[in-house]
Amino acid sequence: MSATMSAKEISEAWLAFVNDTFMTDEGSSSRQEGDEMLKLLEESEKLQSERETWRVHTDKLIKEILESAPESRSDILSGMNPTAMALVHDRILCVTKLMAGFVQQDLKIKTEGGTDLAELFRQMLLQKDSV
């Protein structure tokens, strides 16, 4: 059985998912370094090439975070180098922008009964799940 959810409802669930999964207090210093690196990559126009170079590695990191217990996520996040953190953050921002576009268009999205939004979000974050 399918149900229809508004893009706004799904994007609200997305923001809660991101906050719960990636925004740990202990990882905040590495997150700040990652934000600074992301800004540097954008300003130097190297972001696209770094995305391609690091794509598989970024997928592995995201998958590791998603599969880890909540209490171990902060260790994973705080152990990332600034470039890896920047590219994970970039991936999150890309999905967030996509969600914002859906909301602006006031889209309705059909979901299969029982479809887990966390799985949908995982699929949106992972670009090449070759791990």
CB atoms under 10 Å from CB of 42, counted, come to: 13
Q: Mind listing the pLDDT tens digit for each residue in 46-92?
A: 999 999 999 999 999 999 999 999 889 988 988 899 999 999 999 99
Comparing C-alpha atoms, which of 9, 3, 6, 10 is closest to residue 120? 10
Q: What is the mean pLDDT of residues 16-22?
A: 91
pLDDT at 107: 84
Q: What is the mean pLDDT of residues 6-28?
A: 84
Residue spans of the domains in the chain: they are 2-125
pLDDT at 131: 40
What is the separation of C-alpha 17 from the centre of its chain, rounded to a whole number of angstroms? 9
Helices (H) and strands (E) in the chain, counts: 6, 2
pLDDT at 87: 96
Decide: helix, strand or coil at residue 47: helix
Amino acid occupying residue 83: T
Mean of all residue pLDDT scores within the chain? 86
What is the separation of C-alpha 33 from the centre of its chain, rounded to a whole number of angstroms? 17
